[in-house]
Structure 1
Amino acid sequence: MKVICSTMTGTVLQVLVSEGDRVESGQDVVVLESMKMEVPVQAETAGTVSAVKAEVGGFVNEGDILFELNG
């Protein structure tokens, strides 16, 4: 199983993919806000989203798992 983790501490502004979606390496998957800056988080690897752990308005720490991927 592959995962996509938060690259920083912040609040989830947008979740751009859903369970079952195919993502490609480099694709934006979530937008975080920290210190009034919007920062997109990108997939480091391709795969199909098997679980979404991030939710809009939720707080995440650097390294938290946002998505789980298959294949």
Structure 2
Amino acid sequence: MTRTPVISEVSGTVWELLAAPGDVVEEGQELMLIESMKMELGVMSPASGTLVEILVAKDDPVAADQTVMVIAS
């Protein structure tokens, strides 16, 4: 089993989680929204597989290049 990290490209605050652990996701699928500088930016899945872990919660701050989720394939 390969574990692929989902990385936030920007610093900001988790606005909304669009997937839950156990969900089957596709590469390019939007998994969460991050509010940064009054804009909502999507975090996309880098691979297809099953979402196995969410490392942040709604309203948590995130940093650029931070791992926010993990996908197993």
TM-score (norm 2): 0.93
Partner of 1:70: 72
Q: How many pairs were matched up?
A: 71
CA deviation after TM superposition for structure 1 residue 22, in Å: 0.6
For 1:8-19, list aligned pairs within 5 A. 8-19=10-21
For 1:51-62, list aligned pairs within 5 A. 51-62=53-64
**Equivalent residues of 1:29, 1:40 under 8 A apart:** yes
For 1:1-71, list aligned pairs within 5 A. 1-71=3-73
Name the Cα RMSD after superposition.
0.7
Residues 9-68 of structure 1 deviation map (CA, whole Å, 9 limit, x = unaligned): 000000110000011011000000011001111111111011111210000001111111
TM-score (norm 1): 0.95
Structure 2 gap ranges (5+):
none
Question: Which one-letter code corresponds to 2:20 in the other structure?
Answer: S
Identity across the alignment (%) = 30
**Runs ≥4 in structure 1, deviation > 2 angstroms?**
none
Structure 1 gap ranges (5+):
none
Separation in 2, partners of 1:46, 1:18 = 14
